[in-house]
Amino acid sequence: MVSQLTDAFDRKFYYLRLSITDVCNFRCNYCLPDGYKPNANKRFLTLDEIKRVGRGFAELGTEKVRLTGGEPTLRRDFVDIVAAIRENSAIRTLAVTTNGYRMARDVQSWKDAGLTSINVSVDSLDARQFHTITGQDKFRQVMDGIDAGFAAGFNTIKVNTVLMRDVNDRSLTTFLNWIKDRPIQLRFIELMETGEGTDLFRKHHVSGDVIRRQLLEQGWQQRVRDRSDGPAQVFTHPDYQGQIGLIMPYEKDFCLSCNRLRVSAVGNLHLCLFGEQGISLRDLLTDDNQLEALKARIQDKLLTKKQTHFLHQGNSGITQNLSFIGG
């Protein structure tokens, strides 16, 4: 009988976001506008450590793992990591959030290794605006990667779009036309205030409710949420192959349905995605014989998880940029 991770507020946790690197090759203006700054003292989790994280969480009832970064596919052993996580039969969904620049070349190998789901970050369908936002002239490459994902056998691909006032908040029609005949779940994510992004937040933040009202007026209907789903409110329409998801962390009661934990690229357990210091697990990842102690620490620390985040008070803790959040 698999024990199920449960916190003091009776929330059950089926979903792990596992960061495997902080390195990213894009310079998105809301995330890493100056690019990634290497830190010689930072050692990312090894393949063996990642295997032990995956096994520990699988034995605690985790059904879904999402590999994040930075840009996770920059790791040379990315395919090996996918295969290692898939060794756990309890993990039904293994996803990655990527900027998509390597998909056209590598997505088939990811699928063959056991990846089941892909999220690609695309903040604009205009190539010039995409270049301005990301600092990279890779729009065509990313679009080709999405096509390659379908050709490799992924039935649905999720696309993450950070919603920004005066950037893409008036582009709903363009996005809807794009997904009308494509099985893409387009997810609008509200821009979040982080330690380094207060000015950007004040200038560009817009509530996802703006999109929700437009969808409801056009006949879209909200889908029932599954227990291992992420935080998106998902909308469907009979005339569209695609779907729309809305992630609105500032909305009332956002945390009531929390089912996600996070392990950082250096092995810290984060009970909330939005900024607390983290609990080190790395000392329990050096040997397979430490599995029971690892599971016990995760279960014990989960009981200290707060009822809600503190984004409404402008407190993003150690979350200095959106690379911490992932896609």
CA Rg, the chain, in Å?
Answer: 19
Q: Is 121 annotated as a binding residue?
A: yes
55 is an annotated ligand-binding site residue = no
Instruction: Transcribe 241-283 into DSSP letters.
Output: SSEEEEE-TTSTTGGGG--EEEE-TTSEEESSTT----EE-GG
Is 1 annotated as a binding-site member? no
> Does 66 appear as a known binding residue?
yes
Is 252 annotated in a binding site? The answer is no
262 belongs to an annotated ligand binding site: yes
Is 101 annotated as ligand-binding? no
> Is 202 assigned a ligand-binding role in the annotation?
no
**97 among annotated binding-site residues:** yes
The answer on whether 281 is annotated among ligand-binding residues is: no
Please indicate if the annotation marks 301 as binding a ligand: no
Is residue 89 marked as binding?
no
Tell me if 272 is assigned to a ligand binding site.
yes
Q: Is 115 annotated as a binding residue?
A: no
State how far the Cα of 150 lies from the Cα of 184, in Å rounded to an integer: 10
Identify the H or E element spanning 59: none
Say whether 105 counts as a known binding-site residue.
no
- Within 10 angstroms of residue 296's Cβ, the number of other Cβ atoms is 12
> Tokens 């310079």 correspond to what residue?
27
Q: Flag whether 323 is marked binding.
A: no
Q: Are 327 and 119 in contact (CB under 8 A)?
A: yes
* Alpha-carbon 9 to chain mean position: 24
Gap between the Cα atoms of 16 and 12, Å rounded:
12
Write phi, then psi, for 184 (nearest 5 degrees).
Answer: -110, 130
Is 260 annotated as belonging to a binding site? yes
Annotated binding site: 17, 24, 28, 30-31, 66, 70, 97, 121, 158, 192, 255, 258, 260-262, 272
Annotated binding site for GTP: 17, 66, 97, 158, 260-262
Annotated binding site for S-adenosyl-L-methionine: 30, 70, 121, 192
Annotated binding site for [4Fe-4S] cluster: 24, 28, 31, 255, 258, 272
